[in-house]
Amino acid sequence: MGCKCGSIESANCHCGRIVGINGNMITVEFYGMLRQNELAYIMLEDVRLKAEVIRIRGRYADVQILEDPRWLKVGGHVDFSGELLAAELGPGLLTQIFDGLQNPLPELARECGFFLKRGVYMDAIPRDKEWKFTPVVKKGDVLRAGDSIGTVPEGIFSHRIMVPFSLRGRYCVEWVAGHGSYRVDETIAELKDSKGALVKVTMVQKWPVKVPLKCYSERLMPTETLMTKIRILDTFFPAAKGGTFCVPGPFGAGKTVLQQLISRNADADIVVVAACGERAGEVVETLREFPRITDPRTGKSLMERTVIICNTSSMPVAAREASVYTGVTLAEYYRQMGLHVLLLADSTSRWAQALREVSGRMEEIPGDEAYPAYLESVIAAFYERAAIVRLHDGSVGSVTIGGTVSPAGGNFDEPVTQATLKVVGAFHGLSKERSDARRYPSIHPLESWSKYNGIVQAEYLLLALKILRDGNDIAQMMKVVGEEGTSIDDFITYLKSEYLDAAYMQQNAFHVVDVASSGERQKYTFGKMVKILGAKMSFAGKDAARAFFHTLTQKTRDWNYTAMESDEFQAIETELDKMLGGESAQDIQ
């Protein structure tokens, strides 16, 4: 039987026709062979709309369009590319701002104007720029997927040009380009497989975004703390390099500011921000602020080691899923170079809502709150791509994934938050109550937790958390019986918990010193806190106790605002020791 397009026989045809339209999802009758997640193009006059196969049923395929689906008609022509939805990998990704399909948005805006046109796709990596290539292999060397062929400078990093990840087995180097400048699409090496076939290698390659990149020798246990220089995180609820964490919180609780602080100060080489569906205003703020943020490492713009992926307002919800997977694929690519990468996804709730919408259009049996029944599996598969690995050459790289969640009304019992909590290693729950009280970062210390080891000893951490819990219980009791109905000992415990909260957990993101607290400083100052929390105190009355802790809190805040190496730091510490009877923090570290 001939193909409906009338061009070729159906046995070899790789196209189809539209037989049903439901929003941005269409049903296609296809001819020939087809794969799940294959890339398709829907023909609309002179425009080709990119789409992805999400379900195959006999001779019919459900295809989600990653563009505006208006004006499509039943009977329309569809071409299948034979390739999976993939990301383009190579030098030139850093400093870029992409959409979910990896189109460079600044170039796209220059091409299309203020309103982006449908069906316009651009190379993620410029083809006209030349890179200074330095080979690290010679003829006769035996390589495998992920091994380095050479390097090119990319900002402050040495970007590795690697054997394509899609190759299997061992390959012998037949020829490699010498020192010189080359475009990314020029051949820089030729490899021969075991059957004698030659493979030409360029600086750019593609990898399917929904397939984890596993060109490493060993996956390690995340044990090293990812220092964010935010005291409440590093001391109480740390994340680990190669680990996972989530930051759920209601609107206005400070997720975006916290994300920017982590991006700026975290101990990571590369930062990938996947704005996979946050509100337009917050995306604009991210795009506007990141180039202005000074990188503490280099003194230059933070964008020089950052990649931002975001959706435009004209893209349908299906593109949110592409944003998440494109982001993690780029992160895995830089991990393959032995770098430590931090991926921040904001907000995964919008991604889950996109999954719910697509699931509804496919008429699947819904789960809790109409989310797909496989929601937990999809979220788990995403976070499982975080890892710290040992590469074939012995170097170590990592991808740490942190996802923000936006539960309606701050309800942490909703399905997306609960599914995320089952797979992440740390939970940084933001509190509307703390945000309204201007206690920033508004991470709730009694609801948050972490499975990773921190930078302070566990016994001192438990003491601090006990003081916080006891202080909270006493505060709730005081709302009923009043301050006069509270014993002096309980009142001192309450004041200790408030002091710990105000002087250590809260941090001024707009102060040049307090914005970032090093691990060394955190251990030292927390030792002082432990001395205060564990000290037995007696006062003539509650007014005297309140006055003492008020002065102590203000003095400690002043201490936080001084550089650790300064004379002022030492002078304030001496005053604190006098207030505490000369006790020192030297032995509590």
Known binding residues for ATP? 249-256
Kind of pairing between the strands at 47-57 and 60-65:
antiparallel
Query: How many Cα atoms occupy the beta-carbon half-sphere of 400 within 13 Å?
Result: 32
CA proximity to 115, closest of 156, 180, 162, 68? 68
Side chain identity at residue 31, one-letter code: Y
CB 31 within 8 A of CB 4: yes
CB 494 within 8 A of CB 474: yes
Neighbouring-strand partners of residue 513: none
Query: Token match 């390099």: residue?
Result: 241
First to last CA, the chain: 79
Q: Which residues are annotated as a binding site?
A: 249-256
CB 223 within 8 A of CB 437: no
CB 5 within 8 A of CB 15: yes
Distance in angstroms (rounded) separating the CA atoms of residues 315 and 323: 11
Quick one: tokens of 278? 């946050």
Distance in angstroms (rounded) separating the CA atoms of residues 121 and 67: 11
Residues 6+ apart with CB under 8 A from 85: 37, 38, 39, 52, 208, 209, 210, 322, 325
| DSSP line for 388-434 | EEE-TTS-EEEEEEEEEE--GGG-TTSHHHHHHHTT-SEE--B-HHH
Distance in angstroms (rounded) separating the CA atoms of residues 11 and 295: 56
CB 271 within 8 A of CB 264: no
Distance in angstroms (rounded) separating the CA atoms of residues 388 and 351: 25
CB 163 within 8 A of CB 127: no
